[in-house]
């Protein structure tokens, strides 16, 4: 769903209610957990956030508050959406003078202690999204005490206008990855201890 103006809160609420009963828009649900399926654009990006337990705690807190979405051109609605399987969110992007409203559902969560300490989640696209696929956001605390923000995604354009503008869409995905990593680095430095 796109518009020339930012969508009102009521419009977003209606959009999310309509998406609630719909299935994922792709068949490979959960595949960001282990491997990436064939036939999709695959993206994997990571950045070191620092070292130690406190950085891990702050990074997990940032993930829970959706701080990885770079403002002002992207945001999640509702802003306080809990990180639980089945939770539906609207990812709003403002690009090229248009506002794009995209629906996603959390597929799974991660809270692992072995072989590395890892926290995160993946969300997948619903029919109200311009792409189809899945993206995983995770924080990893490795044995060498380093803490990493890791993004893994597979996607492909869902609608023909996006297919025609695939180079632009891929450019936006790359921009999102770069700015998301910066947003997480900033969030870990700015969150109160």
Q: What CA–CA distances, in Å, run from 148 to 125, 136, 139, 141, 164?
A: 25, 13, 6, 7, 35
Q: CATH code for 2-190?
A: 3.30.530.20
Is residue 146 predicted with pLDDT exceeding 80?
Answer: yes
Is residue 159 predicted with pLDDT exceeding 90?
Answer: no
Which band of pLDDT confidence, cut at 50, 70 and 90, is reported for residue 19? very high
Which band of pLDDT confidence, cut at 50, 70 and 90, is reported for residue 104? very high
The beta-strand segments (E) located in 6-116 are 41-51, 74-77, 88-95, 98-112
Question: Average of pLDDT values for 42-62?
Answer: 96
């Amino acid at each position: 769903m796109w518009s020339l103006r930012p969508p009102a809160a009521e419009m977003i609420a209606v959009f999310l209610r309509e998406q609630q009963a719909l299935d994922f828009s792709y068949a490979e649900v959960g595949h960001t957990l282990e491997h990436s399926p064939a036939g999709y654009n695959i993206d994997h990006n990571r950045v070191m956030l620092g070292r130690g337990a406190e950085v891990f705690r702050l990074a997990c807190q940032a993930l829970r508050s959706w701080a990885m979405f770079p403002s002002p051109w992207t945001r999640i609605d509702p802003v306080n959406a809990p990180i639980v399987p089945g939770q539906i969110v609207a990812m709003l992007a403002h690009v090229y003078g248009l506002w794009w409203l995209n629906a996603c559902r959390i597929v799974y969560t991660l809270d692992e202690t072995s072989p590395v300490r890892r926290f995160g989640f993946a969300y997948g696209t619903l029919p109200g999204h311009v792409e189809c696929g899945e993206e995983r956001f995770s924080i990893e605390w490795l044995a060498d005490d380093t803490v990493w923000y890791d993004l893994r995604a597979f996607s492909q354009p869902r609608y023909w206008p996006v297919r025609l503008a695939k180079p632009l869409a891929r450019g936006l995905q790359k921009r999102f990855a770069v700015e998301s990593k910066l947003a997480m680095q900033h969030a870990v430095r700015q969150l109160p201890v």
